[in-house]
Amino acid sequence: MDKILIIRMSSLGDIIHTLPAFAALRRNFPAAHIAWVVEKKGKDILDFVPGIDEMIVVGSPGWRKKLRNPGQSAFDFQGLLKSGLIARISGARKRFGFNRKNLKEPLASLFYTDRLEELAETGHVIEKNLRLLRLAGIHEDKFEFPLDIPEALRLSVKGKIAPSLGGAQGKLALFNVGAAWPTKRWFAESWIALLNDLKNEAGTPLLLWGTPEEETVARRVSRETGVPIAPFLTIQELLALVKASALVVSGDTFVLQAACALAVPVVGIFGPTTPQRNGPFHSRDKFVYHKIACGPCYKRSCDSLECLKLVTAGQVAAAIRKILEENA
């Protein structure tokens, strides 16, 4: 296989979850030209991934022309009509995709030449991505994340957050209060209770993080706990901050996936999604999750949010203290 096209345009966490499949392709085809189709925000992650020969950024000048390469083989890890169509437009002689029953948009399977057998969807999504490679004769199960965060960026971010920490020393615990879906966002009251419980713990500075869209919640939590908020950071700076942390506490979102990929200890907070599919996979990591009759539902809106209401500040605090104790 001389030319390979990877299609995983978004979201940021799913791009992280596709990196082990890329690493396996690179190991098995060290001389191949590997191109990756990605949206602009996702490129910020892939800039830190050695071994990608070309990034084709959707919407950039001439991106469709760059896409065309009839001699390549395409792997569609996205599973949408749009990504399937991109595989078809690329002219790839082999277009590998998931079974229609495992696709978000089943009609995407019409664009594939080779389809994986139906999967049970009970394992981790990283395992699912690696299974797609079996269509090309690659049988691997290694979770490898070839992310190289520049030291200069780490130092820059350290200096940028220093005023927020007020001179506190040591590797910090990062608390991410947001998530892309409203149903994945733990409640402000729960964050406040958690941080008020933890803020007198010795030796580990606490820092809040939230995107600009989540600033209102982060400011309320900070105001009622005294825990500072990190300044605005780019995606690349956020990766450097995560790498520098002793612990990350987050819902099912990019910050959690990045911490897992960078081997930073995590405590995950789960509601409508299941940690078995999207959660941490290192043995030391923890998560708090309560399976209820209607879940996991993977819904982006919900009137009750009962699954998140069952996650208490005490449960999350206990998981945090156990990780800090085990990694002291």
Most confident of the following: 85-89, 161-165, 228-232 = 85-89
What pLDDT score was predicted for residue 212?
A: 77
Instruction: Inform me whether the pLDDT recorded for 203 exceeds 80.
Output: no
Which tokens go with 200? 């007198």
Distance of CA 137 to the CA centre of its chain: 27
Residue pLDDT, tens place only, 133-148 = 999 999 999 999 999 9
Helix/strand/coil for 312: coil
Residues contacting 31, CB < 8 A, separation 6+:
2
Alpha-carbon distance of 38 to 138, in angstroms, equals 23
Residues contacting 142, CB < 8 A, separation 6+:
20, 23, 24
Alpha-carbon distance of 296 to 18, in angstroms, equals 22
Helix axes 254-261, 235-243, angle to 10 degrees: 50
pLDDT category, 202, cuts 50, 70, 90? low
pLDDT category, 230, cuts 50, 70, 90? very high
On whether the CB atoms of residues 98 and 121 are closer than 8 A, the answer is no
Q: What is the pTM of this model?
A: 0.95
Residue owning tokens 């030796």: 203
In the chain the domains, ranked by start, together with CATH numbers, are 3-136 (3.40.50.2000), 152-326 (3.40.50.2000)
Alpha-carbon distance of 23 to 174, in angstroms, equals 28
